[in-house]
Structure 1
């Protein structure tokens, strides 16, 4: 069986810490077994390895998240990048056809697709080991993994199974319900419905038939060429809800997508992370501060106070998910923070004038990483090294770089930075008309 982990999502519900590049799966906020913290994607990798499922893993991410995904998975697994985000169906096809084109999978092989940003206990992943046997025994075309609901959520989809023998390993799927209101969710729970975990297993040839139905190519290169014009398609809508031979198995343990501040804060190792504190009666409140200035909450219960380079959020825990709707209407035009394969960047200042745009950026490079060589035909920049040491290359000339050093890059000159230790540098970039406006994305 080949397991394809999908790294999609816009990151809006966990703003201001998550965004289009640093989505929730990269946030290192979960307690790790040996102490410290880990990210969702790191936790999932660890659990799949413990279950013996890491021999055939493939990550599908947006092309701008490939290096960051490799960084958070220790570069232990292959990662391929979609040129555009086109939904879970398209991402699943992209990954499956990549395996086929590379000769790593055949049409009769079983493919499991799952989200990379979920939180579950170890037994959840051990159930993956049953998928092949259950598909064979049931003669089903599609297998779904569901979990018993713990409350009538309006944020999850539901699977309605047939009422089978309670000792059976699987049950036929009767219907689906996508994010119902609370009253309907309660009715579904009474029908023994399951939360849809977004985990599906099927034979690769089954997916090829759906590509044929949609008049899409069954070849990796041909599908990739069509990406710019493809619509967003959901695997649930295009495959699961159309399948008449689907079965589901039930997970009785822990599972959540940790898709809101309300659900994530229940998993945090402490109520205060970062500089600041909760004072007085602050029961059930949580504070996370990524800034270098203190944040204090006094005498307010049941809230989240989240501060990061992208902004500050103060919200009732139960209402914090509404930030997604707010951002859709009032989203910021420019990102102020991003993570990459080589480190991170923070926009300190942005000034527009008649001559163009001046950006002041703090770059943080990881040890033994480098800012790849590039040419900026429409901008000039000055680098000042704040800490650490490494090398700066400008137009083929390489110089040792350490704290206090400064370097000037004219328009059109090739330039790069290599970090031997952790490095921080301030970049002042002066851009003229024609600059693509991107800060850094590699």
Structure 2
């Protein structure tokens, strides 16, 4: 069996910690077995290894997040990138066609598609081993995983299983993606299960579905059409339309950490970062990435979140409204993580037709910021801490605290860190020389 893990989402619900550059799956907040913290994607990788499922894993992400995905998965798995975000169905199809075209999978092989940011117990992943046998014994085309709903939510898909089955699975009567709350309540009365976002099927099933909807089954042709494809979810495109499907029921832990309410419920402490809570602050959480303290006094049931991207103070039950706020703005990211480290925009000053950006760069030890050139701006780097090597136009120089390097427009430049490095970059360019500060 081949496991395709999808890394998608816009990160709006967990702003300001997540966003277009750093998705929620990379947030290093969850308690790890050794007492430290781990990211959602790191937790899933650890659990896949424990369940002996990591022999054939493929990550599909947006091309801008390929490097950071490799970093957070320890460079242990292949990662491919979408040129544009086109939904979970399109991403899953890309993963399948990659495996098929490279000869890593055959039409009769079983494919498991799952989100890379799910939160579940170890038994959840061990059930994956049953998919192949269940597809064979049930003669179905699709296996889903479901769990008992805890409340009528409009944020999940609902699977209605046939009642009375004594097998490890049940035929699916119907599937409905994100119904209104009133409809969700009625579905729960029919013993519907929340869809966990995990699907297993023969590779040939995906090839057949692509042909039915008029899409190519060759990888090159599929990629040629990618930018013009509509956004399609796997749930609506496949799960709702497949007549021969079965569902397995997971009785243990599973939840989607896509809201502040659900995420903070998994944190080991109400305060992460500088700051504190006093007075009646029941069910209040602080997560602060800023270098200044954040305190909450006598306000229960809120989240207080600080990051270089912004500050959010919200009642937990109302925090999802931030998505509407963000859709009304188009600010460029002020913070981002990359394959080599991270960047924080400290200042953004426009003067006439010019622009001055001041940026803090953090480069991880033994990592390299790839060679680049700035055609529309000049740069100055001042090393604040750590040591390494700066290369300008092919000439390498040692770099340690206090060293200054200046690059004119068009100069090729790169940095290799020996120890963890921090440096201040002052970039002087044209007013339109934006703000994609650094890519992946």
Tell me if TM exceeds 0.5.
Answer: yes
| CA distance in structure 2 between the aligned counterparts of 1:69 and 1:327, rounded to whole angstroms | 24
- Specify the alignment match of 2:282 in structure 1: 283
Preserved contact between residue 379 and residue 427 of structure 2 (Cα < 8 Å): yes
291-300 vs 168-177, which moves further: 168-177
- Specify the alignment match of 1:407 in structure 2: 405
For residue 276 of structure 1, report the CA deviation from its aligned partner: 0.4
For residue 177 of structure 1, report the CA deviation from its aligned partner: 2.1
- Specify the alignment match of 2:204 in structure 1: 205
- Structure 2 residue matching 1:411: 3-state secondary structure: coil
Map residues 143-158 of structure 1 onto 2, 5 A cutoff.
Answer: 143-158=143-158
For residue 435 of structure 1, report the CA deviation from its aligned partner: 3.5
Counterpart among 357, 360, 367 of residue 359 in structure 1: 357
| Cα offsets for 1:201-226 (capped at 9, x unmatched) | 00111101111122111011111121
Map residues 289-304 of structure 1 onto 2, 5 A cutoff.
Answer: 289-304=288-303
- 1:28 partnered with 2:47: no
For residue 185 of structure 1, report the CA deviation from its aligned partner: 1.9
For residue 77 of structure 1, report the CA deviation from its aligned partner: 0.6
Map residues 291-440 of structure 1 onto 2, 5 A cutoff.
Answer: 291-329=290-328, 331-432=329-430, 435=433, 437-440=435-438
Preserved contact between residue 355 and residue 433 of structure 2 (Cα < 8 Å): no
For residue 314 of structure 1, report the CA deviation from its aligned partner: 0.6
- 1:90 partnered with 2:71: no
TM-score, structure 2 normalization? 0.98
| CA distance in structure 2 between the aligned counterparts of 1:81 and 1:436, rounded to whole angstroms | 24
- Specify the alignment match of 1:257 in structure 2: 256
- 1:45 partnered with 2:57: no
For residue 21 of structure 1, report the CA deviation from its aligned partner: 1.8
| Cα offsets for 1:251-284 (capped at 9, x unmatched) | 1111011110000000001000000000111111
Preserved contact between residue 177 and residue 235 of structure 2 (Cα < 8 Å): no
108-117 vs 178-187, which moves further: 178-187
Preserved contact between residue 276 and residue 294 of structure 1 (Cα < 8 Å): yes
| CA distance in structure 2 between the aligned counterparts of 1:251 and 1:150, rounded to whole angstroms | 13
| Cα offsets for 1:10-58 (capped at 9, x unmatched) | 0000000000121110001100011110000000011111111000000
| CA distance in structure 2 between the aligned counterparts of 1:338 and 1:217, rounded to whole angstroms | 35
TM-score, structure 1 normalization? 0.98
| CA distance in structure 2 between the aligned counterparts of 1:224 and 1:172, rounded to whole angstroms | 35
Structure 2 residue runs without a partner (length 5+): none
- Specify the alignment match of 2:134 in structure 1: 134
Number of positions where the alignment pairs a residue of Structure 1 with one of Structure 2: 440
- Specify the alignment match of 1:3 in structure 2: 3
- Structure 1 residue matching 2:178: 3-state secondary structure: coil
| CA distance in structure 2 between the aligned counterparts of 1:262 and 1:136, rounded to whole angstroms | 40
Q: Quickly say closer, same or farther: Cα 1:263–1:354, change in 2 above 3 A.
A: same
For residue 433 of structure 1, report the CA deviation from its aligned partner: 5.8
- Specify the alignment match of 1:441 in structure 2: 439
- Structure 2 residue matching 1:200: 3-state secondary structure: strand
For residue 434 of structure 1, report the CA deviation from its aligned partner: 6.2
Structure 1 residue runs without a partner (length 5+): none
- 1:180 partnered with 2:173: no
- Specify the alignment match of 1:272 in structure 2: 271
Preserved contact between residue 378 and residue 434 of structure 1 (Cα < 8 Å): no
